[in-house]
Amino acid sequence: MSGANSYNWQAPSGCTITNNGSNTVQIAYPNGFIIGTISVTVVFNCGSDALRTLNVASQPQNTSIIGLACITPGQNYTYTINGGLGASTFNWTLSGSGTVLSGQGTNSVVVNYSTAFNVGILSVTPANNCGTGQTSDLVVNVSAQIPNSIFGPSNLCTGDTVMYFIDDYTDVNYLIWSLPTGLQILNGTTADTILVVVGSSFVGGSMSVMRVNDCGSSPMKYKSLFGCQMAMPTNQNNPIEINMNNNLLTPDSLVFDNEWRESIKLDIDIILFPNPTKNTINFRAYRGHSPTYKVHIKSALGTLVLETILKAEDKVDISLLESGVYYFTATDDNNHSITKKIVKQ
C-alpha cells in the first residue's frame, strides 16, 4: 500500500506467521483448526493506520446427531447436532418412510415418521465454502408395539396340539409368550409361531405375548383361554362333533369359537413354523393319515416357485426364494388339500 511503513499481522491462536511486518506473509495452521480471522494493521508514515480482516475456515468439524432413535410411527421428532463447527449449512436426509418437515439447512430439524415407517437412517452432512465434513448417521427403529391380536383357538381340550401367532411380525426380533398352568410350548417361548400341547391340569386362564426388538419390549397382549368339558349328547338328534383326540362334544352344551369349529371340520390340517422365516419352514400334518404330502408353493401372483414331497413331519428349504408372501399348499393321498400363507423374510 502506497505510503505504508509496516504491516502488523495477527492470526488465530496456534497459527505461526512467517515474514510478519511485510505485505506478504505465510501462515501455518495447526491440526484441528476450524475457523478464525486473520487481520493486518497497516501503519503509514503519514495518516491513520488501516485495519483489514479476512475470515478463514477449514472443512467443517464432524457432527453427531442428538435425538430419539426409537420412535412411534405417525409422530414428529426434533433432532439437533453436536459439533459441526465451521459449517455454514447442514444437509439432512432420511431413508425409509419419513419426511424432514422443517429446519433443512440448519443445525436442528423436525422429522415426521409416517404410520408405515419401519426402520430408516437419519443422516446429516455439514458443509461450508471449503467443502463438506463427514456425514453422521442415526439408525432409527420403531419402538416395539403391542400386538393387535393373538390368533389361535380359545377353547382347548386335554391332548390338543394347537398353534398361536400374532397379526404382524414387522420390526420384531422375537416374541415372548407366557401361558397358564397346564399348557406346554413345544418349540420355545420366543418363537414367532408357537405349538402348544394341552395337559390334563389345564382349566383356563390368560395367555400373553409381547414383541421385542432393538428398542426394547412392547406391552403385553392378552387372550383368554377356556378348558372344554367332556359331554355326551342328551338327544340323538343333536349333531356330534369330534375333536383331534376323538372326544365327543355336543355343540348345544358347549360354546366354541368359530375358528375351532371350522378347524375340526377339515379332512387335513397342517402346522407351518416358524412363520415368517428366513430359510426353513417346518411342516407337520396333524389331521390326515397320509405318509407323504404333495407340496406346492406359489408366489402372491400365483406363480409356482417350488414343488416337493414331504413326510407327515418334515421341513422344506426356501432360502433361495425372494422375500415376500407365498402360499403353501399340501395335498394328501386322498386328494384333500389345504393352503396356508407363509412369509419369507
Q: Using one digit for the tens of pLDDT, what is the confidence trace for 299-333?
A: 877 889 999 999 988 999 999 999 888 889 999 88
Task: Label residue 38 by pLDDT band (50, 70, 90).
Answer: very high
Q: Are residues 129 and 149 in the same domain?
A: no
Q: Residue 222: give its domain's CATH number.
A: 2.60.40.10
Using alpha carbons, select from 92, 96, 94 the residue that is nearest to residue 80. 92
Average of pLDDT values for 69-78? 94
Q: Are residues 69 and 47 in the same domain?
A: no
Q: Are residues 138 and 149 in the same domain?
A: no
Q: Are residues 114 and 174 in the same domain?
A: no
pLDDT of 7 reads 92
Residue at which a domain ends, from 124, 142, 160: 142
Mean pLDDT across the chain, nearest whole number?
84
Q: Are residues 151 and 235 in the same domain?
A: yes
pLDDT of 285 reads 82
Q: Are residues 85 and 133 in the same domain?
A: yes
Q: Residue 281: give its domain's CATH number.
A: 2.60.40.1930
What cell numbers appear for 326 in the block?
Answer: 407365498
Which amino acid is present at 324?
G
Q: Using one digit for the tens of pLDDT, what is the confidence trace for 140-187?
A: 998 988 998 898 888 898 888 888 988 777 778 889 999 999 999 988
Count structural domains, the chain. Answer: 4
Q: Tell me the pTM.
A: 0.51
Using alpha carbons, select from 70, 71, 9 the residue that is nearest to residue 37. 9
Question: What does the buried/exposed string (b/e) look like for 109-145 if buried means 16 or more CB atoms within 10 Å of the residue's CB?
Answer: bebbbeeebeebebebbbbbeeeebeebebebbbbbb
Q: Are residues 131 and 174 in the same domain?
A: no
> Do the bridges between strand 150-151 and strand 161-166 make them parallel or antiparallel, or are there none, so unpaired?
antiparallel
Task: Label residue 267 by pLDDT band (50, 70, 90).
Answer: low
Return the percentage of the chain with pLDDT > 90, whole number.
43
Range of the domain at 109: 63-142
Average of pLDDT values for 67-81? 94
pLDDT of 129 reads 86
Q: What is the DSSP letter of 11?
A: -
Using alpha carbons, select from 309, 302, 291 the residue that is nearest to residue 327. 302
Q: Using one digit for the tens of pLDDT, what is the confidence trace for 186-239?
A: 888 888 889 899 999 999 999 999 999 888 899 999 999 998 754 333 343 333
For residue 288, is pLDDT > 80? no
